[in-house]
């Protein structure tokens, strides 16, 4: 099946989440992606989550780098560096695309690369714009998210578990690569783009209007517990202890919720008493605690199976709190079209995802798990045109793995 | 200054976060984006955070839709629908690109659009793949994130405040648009891509290896409080009550942390006692509580200014917990290159972001705040070639606003 990016060649020299996510996304859309690692693997090669039982397989590394060809090179040797530069700047209209998160390697600076291929499309991921390192958990603290998470005012910050900024940065990498390719196709000029994780986080909170609001308000937003900010949405416990997240952004969603819980008369009486118009999202937000208190007994009186079928019947916007083992069990039982088994080189079998972007209703192939250096020889021959004897010499001198 | 996507034309008919984020990203990269709204605005038009003082300005809507041209159309009238279809499928090699999050409008189905322009690049955002609605807070619950957030085992889930999946989906929209444009430029064929928020979330946790691990482990990951999973990273309180997030992913970062805190001898003695090798990330993760307990007094004995300057001097990877008002104050004092004031049509001034993707070290122009229907006449004339009299007639009949 033809993928949109068939024909595009990308070289990736990046570790951890953001850069590899960008390359993986492009690979799933059909690009041919070569991942360059140092001999023995980069700092993320064995990262958790990793398979137990001594297989040496990292579920993390395998899943983020699936569908790429792997070449390992001694990045400290002049010969190795020459190979990296050659791969990144190989000729051809659909080559010359590089993703990296390199810091401080003078020989891989953009100007050194552009000297070899002026129309290079080069995307560099950074921590801070000046090159200092940052990670999701540090930039999230700096834009104020953990401080408004949780419910206890004045308590310690509550870190987010999901490295969201890493994932947003990863998709920004894919976007920046394709924007650069678009520009080059129209103008012939290369593009050097840089994306700092700290800027992605700052832009995220600014674009949601949160900085504007902090500026106007002059103090921090109070902690809201599990309530959705600016609307009505909160979690409810059912009689069996299972919980559901219920949201009413639109009038239709609100009406559905009121209707299924049989609370129409209660809210009709409350509106004049509280001088409120609950058809307004802002008003539902203001009165969120009251609304939740009125609705809570309905959920507490029903088991989750009943709650779920009634919410569905009434077309309420809701979601079930469920653990990842539950997600896995559902997939094992029914086969989620997005998910796929991933056979790791050490023998473990993981679960990974196909592309969440569907073409013609299809998620495509997830891509095979990588193995460090598995395609070293193939890449050297394909892209650099090296013959068997030359490649053998590189192995003998320990330049490639 | 030339932007990479100069020349590309995109039509957006979407509300809330994901679709508008995709369009805004493309606009910041230089694309010309037309946003179509229903008369009076879509369901997100006045969403919080909104400016106080009765200006009617939504910081949220203005920031997510800046840099776009706004046209408002009566989507219930045949004449209005014909205008929407005309805009989405207008001729020209760099037109015919549509982003929407439409549900159930038969007249805007992909096949209806493709009948008018076979090479349409069409990206549709969904809640679930079958079109049912979902929002960030419901899909986050369904992939198990709030249940492993916070520190109290067995307690209620802790919702994330940041709508991370919305933002990831928004950048996926930008990627999908550009992948479609790439394919069309090579093959002449259009692309219909769909992206469900629920799939983006499921792919996110799968790609991080979290489902693989849940599958192997057979039970949920325990809650970790503010500790980074699989590595060493946690928050510390300084003597003045300010907190810092400190992370040591690599051996160099770990050595820096040990060195600045003067704890080298302690850990050298602990390693044999605990049968641990703290140069290993996995071992630092396993012994995270012990490591944190050893380090905590160093932070507690110093105020945050001292802590910060010493961590910087030693090149420790760290970040400050700071509120959004602090971020705003720093911007107001020094002018962050990413941030910009945004003058809203009702008179309020917000703070918004330029592109976090930099070209030639530049974040570009943030884009002006939108005003509902401000460019209605201009768009009808430019794209559809309508004359003044025809446009006047559309206004008279209430088809456009």
B367 shares a domain with B260 = no
| Distance (Å) from the alpha carbon of A223 to chain B's nearest alpha carbon | 9
pLDDT tens readout for residues A212-244:
999 999 999 999 999 999 999 999 999 999 999
Please indicate, yes or no, whether residues A70 and A111 belong to a single structural domain of this protein: yes
Handedness of CA A127, A128, A132, A135 (dihedral sign): negative
Residues A189 and A312 in one domain: no
Residue B103 and residue B175 in one domain: yes
Q: Work out the burial of residue B12: count CB atoms within 10 Å of its CB; fewer than 13 is exposed, 13-18 middle, 19 or more buried.
A: buried
B157 vs A235, A318, A339: nearest CB: A235
Residue A374 has pLDDT above 80, yes or no: yes
Chain A residues whose CB is inside 8 A of the B249 CB are: 16, 43, 135
Cα–Cα distance measured from residue A227 to residue A208, given in angstroms and rounded to the nearest whole number: 17
B1 domain residue, yes or no: no
- Examine the pLDDT at A197 and tell me if it is beyond 90: yes
User: What count of residues does chain A have?
Assistant: 401
State the pLDDT at residue A1.
Answer: 58
Q: What is the number of domains present in chain A?
A: 2
Same domain, A307 and A350: no
Q: Do A286 and A161 share a structural domain? A: no
Residue at A180 is within a domain: yes
Segments of A40-126 assigned E as strands: 69-73, 97-100, 121-126
Q: What is the spatial distance between Cα B41 and Cα B47, in angstroms, rounded to a whole number?
A: 11
Token look-up 């659009």 returns B113
pLDDT on residue B54: 72
Joined tokens for residue A289: 């605690």
The reply to whether residue B245 touches residue A137, judged by beta carbons under 8 angstroms, is yes
- Which of the 8 DSSP states describes residue B208? T
Residue A120 located in a structural domain = yes
Overall size of chain B counted in residues: 401
B319, A129: Cβ pair inside 8 Å? no
Query: Domain for residue A151, yes or no?
Result: yes
- Mutation target vs A (from B171, B341, B370; most A CBs, 10 A cutoff): B171
How far apart are the C-alpha atoms of A351 and B396, rounded to whole Å?
A: 58
**CB-CB: which of A135, A209, A336 is closest to B247?**
A135
Domain that holds residue A247: 243-320
| Residue B222 covered by a domain | no
Contact A191 B4 (CB under 8 A): yes
Quick one: pLDDT at residue A360?
86
- Is A327 within the bounds of a domain? no
What percentage of chain A has pLDDT greater than the value 90?
Answer: 97
- B90 and B118, same structural domain? yes
Given a contact cutoff of 8 angstroms between Cβ atoms, the answer to whether B166 and B17 are in contact is yes
- Partners of A245 on chain B (C-beta within 8 Å) are 137-138, 141, 159
Task: Answer for the pair A398, A74: CB distance below 8 angstroms, yes or no.
Answer: yes
Q: Inter-chain contact A338–B203, Cβ cutoff 8 Å?
A: yes
pLDDT at residue B1, as a whole number: 58
Give me the residues paired with residue A350 across strands.
A342
Ordered per-residue pLDDT tens for chain B, 401 residues: 589 999 999 999 999 999 999 999 999 999 999 999 999 999 999 999 999 877 789 999 999 999 999 999 999 999 999 999 999 999 999 999 999 999 999 999 999 999 999 999 999 999 999 999 999 999 999 999 999 999 988 899 999 999 999 999 999 999 999 999 999 999 999 999 999 999 999 999 999 999 999 999 999 999 999 999 999 999 999 999 999 999 999 999 999 999 999 999 999 999 999 999 999 999 999 999 999 999 999 999 999 999 999 999 999 999 999 999 999 999 999 889 999 999 999 999 999 999 999 998 999 999 999 999 999 999 999 999 999 999 999 999 999 99
Nearest-angstrom CA–CA distance, A138 and A7: 38
**Chain B positions in Cβ-Cβ contact with residue A287 (cut-off 8 Å):** none
Give chain B positions within 8 Å (CB) of A46: 281-282
CB contact under 8 A, A138 and B247: yes
Are B63 and A208 within 8 A, CB to CB? Answer: yes
Give CA–CA dist B175/A10, Å, rounded.
Answer: 15
Strands of A243-248's sheet, edge to edge? Answer: A232-237, A243-248, A317-320
Looking at residue A56, its pLDDT comes to 81
Of the candidates A85, A105, A104, A107, the residue with the CA atom closest to the CA atom of residue A96: A85
Final residue of a domain: which of B264, B293, B320? B320
Angstrom distances, CA of residue A253 to CA of A234, A237, A247, B100, B125? 14, 20, 8, 20, 19
CATH number of the domain at B137, please: 3.40.50.10540
* Residue B366 counted as domain residue: yes
Query: A233 contacts in B (CB within 8 Å)?
Result: 135, 137
- Spatial strand order in the sheet of A9-13: A69-73, A32-38, A9-13, A97-100, A121-126, A191-196, B357-359
Q: Which of A208, A344, A360 to mutate to test the interface with B (most CBs of B within 10 A)?
A: A208
User: Among A288, A320, A352, where does a domain finish?
Assistant: A320
How far is the alpha carbon of B155 from chain A, nearest alpha carbon, in Å?
11
Range A174-177 contact pairs with CB under 8 angstroms and sequence separation of 24 or more: A174/A21, A174/A22, A174/A25, A174/A26, A174/A29, A174/B171, A174/B175, A175/B25, A175/B29, A175/B171, A175/B174, A175/B175, A175/B178, A175/B357, A176/A123, A176/B357, A177/A10, A177/A22, A177/A26, A177/A97, A177/A99, A177/A121, A177/A123
Looking at residue A240, the DSSP 8-state letter turns out to be T
User: Active-site residues of B: which are they?
Assistant: 166
* Inter-chain CB proximity A202 and B336 less than 8 Å: yes
Which value, in Å, is the radius of gyration of the alpha carbons in chain B? 26
Active site residues of A: 166
> Does A368 lie in the same domain as A314?
no
CA dist B35 → A43, A208, B181, B375 (Å): 44, 18, 19, 10
pLDDT tens string A304-345:
999 999 999 999 999 999 999 999 999 999 889 999 999 999
Do the Cβ atoms of B214 and A324 come within 8 Å?
yes
Which of A47-61, A128-142, A347-361, B387-401 has the lowest average pLDDT?
A: A47-61
Give me chain A's average pLDDT, please.
96
Which chain A residue has the Cα nearest residue B210?
A49
Q: For residues B122 and A81, give the distance between their C-alpha atoms in angstroms, rounded to a whole number.
A: 42
A311 and A349 share one domain? no
Judgement on whether residues A133 and A276 belong to the same structural domain of the protein: no
From B320, B347, B369, give the residue that closes a domain.
B320
Count of pairs with CB atoms under 8 A, one residue in A, one in B: 478
Runs of H (alpha helix) within A208-323: 210-217, 251-261, 264-274, 281-286, 288-300, 304-314
Verify that A252 and A349 share a domain, yes or no. no
Q: Which residues of B touch A318 (CB under 8 A)?
A: 138
**A312 shares its domain with A357:** no
Assigned domain for A4 exists: no
| pLDDT digit string, tens, across residues A67-124 | 999 999 999 999 999 999 999 999 999 999 999 999 999 999 999 999 999 999 999 9
- CA angle, B282 then B283 then B286, to 5°: 90
Q: Do B60 and A208 touch (CB under 8 A)?
A: yes
């Amino acid at each position: 099946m033809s993928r949109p990016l068939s024909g595009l060649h990308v070289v990736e020299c990046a570790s951890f989440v953001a850069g590899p996510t960008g390359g993986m996304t492009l690979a799933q859309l059909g690009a041919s992606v070569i991942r360059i690692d140092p001999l023995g693997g980069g700092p993320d090669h064995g990262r958790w989550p990793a398979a137990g039982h001594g297989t040496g397989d990292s579920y993390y590394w395998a899943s983020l780098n699936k569908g790429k060809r792997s070449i390992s090179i001694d990045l400290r040797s002049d010969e190795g560096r020459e190979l990296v530069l050659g791969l990144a700047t190989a000729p051809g209209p659909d080559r010359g695309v590089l993703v990296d998160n390199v810091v401080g390697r003078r020989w891989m600076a953009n100007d050194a690369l552009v000297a070899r291929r002026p129309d290079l499309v080069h995307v560099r991921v950074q921590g801070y714009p000046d090159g200092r390192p940052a990670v999701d958990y540090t930039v999230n603290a700096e834009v104020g998210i953990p401080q408004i998470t949780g419910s206890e005012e004045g308590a310690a910050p509550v870190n987010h578990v999901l490295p969201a900024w890493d994932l947003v940065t990863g998709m920004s990498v894919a976007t920046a690569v394709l924007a650069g390719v678009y520009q080059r196709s129209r103008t012939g000029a290369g593009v050097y783009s840089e994306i700092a994780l700290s800027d992605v986080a700052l832009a995220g909170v600014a674009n949601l209007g949160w900085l504007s609001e902090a500026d106007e308000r002059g103090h921090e937003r109070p902690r809201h517990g599990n309530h959705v900010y600016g609307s009505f949405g909160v979690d409810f416990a059912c009689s069996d202890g299972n919980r559901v997240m219920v949201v009413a952004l639109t009038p239709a969603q609100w009406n559905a919720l009121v209707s299924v819980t049989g609370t129409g008369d209660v809210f009709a009486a409350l509106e004049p008493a509280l001088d409120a118009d609950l058809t307004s999202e802002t008003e539902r937000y203001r009165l969120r605690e009251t609304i939740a208190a009125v609705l809570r007994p309905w959920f507490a009186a029903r088991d989750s199976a009943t709650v779920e079928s009634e919410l569905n019947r009434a077309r309420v916007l809701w979601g079930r709190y469920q653990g990842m083992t539950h997600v896995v069990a559902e997939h094992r039982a029914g086969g989620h079209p997005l998910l796929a088994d991933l056979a790791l080189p050490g023998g473990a079998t993981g679960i990974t995802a196909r592309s969440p972007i569907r073409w013609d209703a299809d998620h495509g192939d997830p891509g095979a798990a990588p193995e460090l250096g598995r395609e070293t020889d193939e890449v050297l021959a394909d892209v650099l045109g090296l013959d068997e004897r030359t490649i053998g010499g590189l192995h003998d001198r320990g330049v490639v793995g």
